[in-house]
Amino acid sequence: MKKIIIGAIVGGIIIFICQTLSWTILDLHRPANQYTDKQEEIMNFLNGQFSQDASYLMPNTPPGASGEVMEQHMKEAAGKPWAVVAYHKQMDTNMGMNIFRGLIVDIIMVGLFCWILSRFANPRFSNVFIASILTGLIVFLNVPYTTHIWFDTFDLNAYFIDSVVGWGLAGLWLGWWYGRTARVSVTVK
């Protein structure tokens, strides 16, 4: 249990640091968060249009539209501009709580991975490192890439780097952490 907890904490911190660098100093996600000098006018217009927090796909059909209406809409929308607007009535600037939650999620995520590693018969460095890289690829393919397929996101490369580099660096640590027991076991026999 100690191995899982320490692996989770250190691995989670490694992934958290990678994510922090990606979103701040390296600014890899900038393509999905562009600036427009028309933001005041756009926000004033949106504030007059939306009454609740929601993500809006435009153009779209109303809920419950028939298959025929959806098909007609798709034909009419083909080749024209479209947008996804994530609208919030209030900006939450409590960065402390968001940072804390992000760190805890990373620790839990790596903890779950460590539980899987604890079931390995022989957790050698290479096995753990490769399993970590593959986990990073699964994380990337599951949401960022699948979302990109449908919504043509602008920071797909940043998410790929986040996933592979973060999990790769965590895998280096975890490979050493789990591999040292395997080395001791082999040496003792």
**What pTM value is reported for the model?**
0.86
Instruction: Work out the angle between the directed axes of helices 95-117 and 156-188 (0-180°, nearest 10).
Output: 40
Average pLDDT, the chain: 93
Domain annotation covers residue 78: no
Domain annotation covers residue 86: no
Express each pLDDT in 128-160 by its tens digit: 999 999 999 999 999 999 999 999 999 999 999
Domain annotation covers residue 54: no
Taking alpha carbons only, the member of 122, 107, 108 closest to residue 179 is: 122
Query: What local confidence, expressed as pLDDT, does residue 183 receive?
Result: 53
Q: What is the spatial distance between Cα 61 and Cα 70, in angstroms, rounded to a whole number?
A: 6
What is the total count of domains within the chain? 1
Domain annotation covers residue 24: yes
Q: How far is CA 52 from the centre of its chain?
A: 25
Express each pLDDT in 38-94 by its tens digit: 999 999 999 999 989 999 999 999 999 999 999 999 999 999 999 999 999 999 888
